[in-house]
């Protein structure tokens, strides 16, 4: 059966890798222990030498039981489990940390994004220009509004949506832009906001991977209509599940609040008897108190962890620049800090005398360094969920047959730099690696060095 003919039953039963967390988890579990047969530290582990990295990586998420379990316990004992003071406290802290007026928490990042689009004036027939280096959760909200996602290719050196490609996709129907700060690197928000201003467009940032990343000293998620975050377990602020929307627009914030709480008046607290008048068509996507208290605990360390990741990344990038074949992903001109949710590189087979990316990854894994290829070669604009949406009555009503012809849609939206990136990306994660010590970073460089010096032999394995 072809991918876009997938039946509802098989669609619901398949367990494809969607979120980055699961991609990384799969990669980590595939690492097998190598038994060293040589003590010569210059011999790659895949050829029987000792591993470059033996000590293991830090675990994630982190929990300081002594300091934090009593705080969790207090919430549980309070019997106040639904949204209350802890949620508000977390929202205030997240907003203050970003220097924005409002933060609204949600159950997860997917719903933060969807809520953000739901409360903007986007309608069926409108177009939203989206970054394609992502997965389905980024764009669900655009589709809930009946709008048409249009995909603008990425810059293969930064992995971020290319503002020049956005310009090429603007039409009189364009109403919004959806940049995704993928891998935690900042998208070029100054250029994107300039385009948005010129064409009067909404911008919702998918900052689900980009906690505390910065552009010209300003944090991502703060300069558009809405910056949306995920606090899923693998993320730089881990709650298990959780999300947030940042905005400086007070009216929009009140609509979002109402939307996340059954459509009741903004500020209504759960359980208020007077609150059952729904003002807008809504949802219920409130964060719970026990989620918020985990978030508040994690906030205690987030800045220090961010600093460590950035220091490690700068160190790694400088050291790795000596090796052909692995090029660290770059910032666009105004990017200043990444979250380094994933440290990303571009692999070039020629730079390693024809060693394939898969062979390189196997050799790195043998050294004890987890490296992945990132999202599989399955462009978002070809995926069945979009085809399903195109068959709906609402899409048939507002779009021509030609626009909904899925083969033509795929061709129109083809993104060559994205496809190239699927085949050349290297992702180093998860959290434990980038939170390691300087000597852990040296182990990574040493692993690359060993592989570099022994390509011919590794190719025969």
Ligand X SMILES: Cc1ncc(COP(=O)(O)O)c(C=O)c1O
Alpha-helix residue ranges (DSSP H) falling in 138-248: 140-144, 163-169, 189-199
Rule CB under 6 A: is residue 209 a binding residue for ligand X? yes
Strands 218-219 and 226-230: unpaired
Q: Which stretch binds ligand X (CB under 6 A): 48-56, 143-151, 201-209, 256-264?
A: 201-209
Of 144 and 315, the one with the shorter C-beta distance to ligand X is: 144
β-bridge mates for residue 176, sequence order = 128, 202
Structure-block tokens of residue 433: 């690696």
Of 243 and 372, the one with the shorter C-beta distance to ligand X is: 243
Q: To the nearest whole angstrom, how small is the minimum distance from the Cβ of residue 323 to ligand X? A: 29
State which of residues 126, 188, 205, 206 lies at the interface with ligand X (CB under 6 A): 206
Assess contact for 49 and 40: CB atoms under 8 A.
Answer: yes
Of 180 and 338, the one with the shorter C-beta distance to ligand X is: 180
**Rg (alpha carbons) of the chain, rounded to whole number:** 23
Rule CB under 6 A: is residue 339 a binding residue for ligand X? no
- Which residue carries 């460089």 as its tokens? 445
Alpha-helix residue ranges (DSSP H) falling in 224-263: 250-259
Of 239 and 352, the one with the shorter C-beta distance to ligand X is: 239
Rule CB under 6 A: is residue 344 a binding residue for ligand X? no
Q: Residues with Cβ < 8 Å from 197, sequence gap 6 or more?
A: none
Strands 102-106 and 326-328: unpaired
Rule CB under 6 A: is residue 178 a binding residue for ligand X? no
d(CA 45, CA 65): 37
d(CA 443, CA 194): 42
The mark string for 75-114 relative to ligand X (x by CB under 6 A, - otherwise) is ---------------------------------xxx----
State which of residues 128, 130, 180, 192 lies at the interface with ligand X (CB under 6 A): 180
Of 147 and 208, the one with the shorter C-beta distance to ligand X is: 208
Task: State whether residue 414 is helix, strand or coil.
Answer: coil
Rule CB under 6 A: is residue 115 a binding residue for ligand X? no
Q: How many residues bind ligand X (CB under 6 A)?
A: 15
How many of the other CB atoms lie within 10 Å of CB of 450? 25
Q: To the nearest whole angstrom, how small is the minimum distance from the Cβ of residue 112 to ligand X? A: 8
Of 179 and 325, the one with the shorter C-beta distance to ligand X is: 179
Q: To the nearest whole angstrom, how small is the minimum distance from the Cβ of residue 231 to ligand X? A: 7
Residues 127-146 that bind ligand X (CB under 6 A): 134, 137-138
Rule CB under 6 A: is residue 346 a binding residue for ligand X? no
Strands 127-130 and 148-151: parallel
d(CA 342, CA 185): 9
Rule CB under 6 A: is residue 208 a binding residue for ligand X? yes
Contacting residues toward ligand X, per CB under 6 A? 19-20, 108-110, 134, 137-138, 180, 206, 208-209, 230, 232, 243
């Amino acid at each position: 059966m072809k991918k876009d003919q997938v039946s509802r039953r098989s669609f619901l039963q398949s367990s494809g890798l969607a979120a980055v967390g699961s991609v990384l988890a799969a990669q980590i579990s595939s690492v097998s222990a190598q038994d060293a047969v040589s003590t010569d530290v210059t011999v790659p582990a895949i050829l029987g030498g000792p591993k470059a990295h033996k000590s293991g990586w830090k675990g994630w998420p982190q929990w300081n039981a002594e300091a934090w379990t009593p705080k969790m316990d207090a919430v549980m004992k309070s019997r106040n489990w639904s949204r209350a003071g802890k949620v508000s406290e977390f929202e205030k802290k997240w907003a203050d940390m970003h220097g924005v007026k409002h933060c609204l928490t949600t159950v997860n990042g997917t719903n933060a994004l969807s809520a953000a689009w739901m409360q903007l004036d986007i309608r069926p027939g409108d177009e939203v220009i989206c970054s394609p280096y992502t997965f389905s959760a980024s764009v669900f909200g655009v589709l809930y509004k009946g709008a048409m996602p249009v995909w603008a290719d990425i810059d293969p050196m930064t992995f971020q949506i290319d503002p020049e490609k956005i310009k090429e996709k603007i039409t009189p129907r364009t109403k919004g832009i959806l940049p995704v700060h993928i891998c935690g690197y900042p998208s070029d928000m100054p250029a994107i906001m300039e385009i948005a201003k010129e064409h009067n467009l909404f911008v919702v940032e998918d900052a689900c991977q980009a906690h505390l990343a910065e552009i010209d000293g300003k944090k991502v998620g703060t300069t558009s209509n809405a910056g949306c975050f995920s606090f899923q377990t693998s993320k730089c602020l881990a709650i298990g599940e959780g999300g947030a929307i940042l905005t400086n627009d007070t009216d929009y914030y009140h609509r979002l609040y109402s939307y996340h709480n059954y459509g009741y008046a903004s500020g209504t607290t759960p359980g208020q008897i007077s609150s059952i008048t729904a003002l807008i068509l809504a949802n219920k996507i409130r964060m719970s108190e026990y989620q918020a208290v985990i978030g508040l605990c994690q906030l205690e360390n987030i800045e220090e962890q961010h600093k460590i990741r950035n220091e490690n990344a700068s160190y790694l990038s400088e050291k790795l620049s000596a090796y052909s074949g692995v090029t660290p992903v770059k910032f666009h001109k105004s990017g200043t800090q990444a979250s380094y949710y994933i440290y990303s590189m571009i692999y070039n087979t020629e730079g390693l005398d024809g060693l394939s990316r898969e062979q390189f990854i196997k050799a790195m894994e043998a050294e004890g360094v987890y490296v992945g290829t990132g999202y599989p070669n399955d462009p978002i604009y070809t995926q069945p969920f979009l085809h399903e949406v195109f068959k709906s009555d609402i899409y048939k009503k507002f779009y021509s047959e030609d626009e909904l012809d899925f083969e033509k849609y795929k061709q129109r939206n083809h993104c060559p730099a994205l496809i190239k990136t699927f085949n050349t990306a290297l992702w180093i994660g998860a959290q434990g690696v980038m939170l390691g010590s300087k000597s852990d970073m040296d182990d990574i460089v040493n692993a690359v060095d060993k592989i570099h010096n022994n390509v011919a032999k590794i190719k025969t394995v």
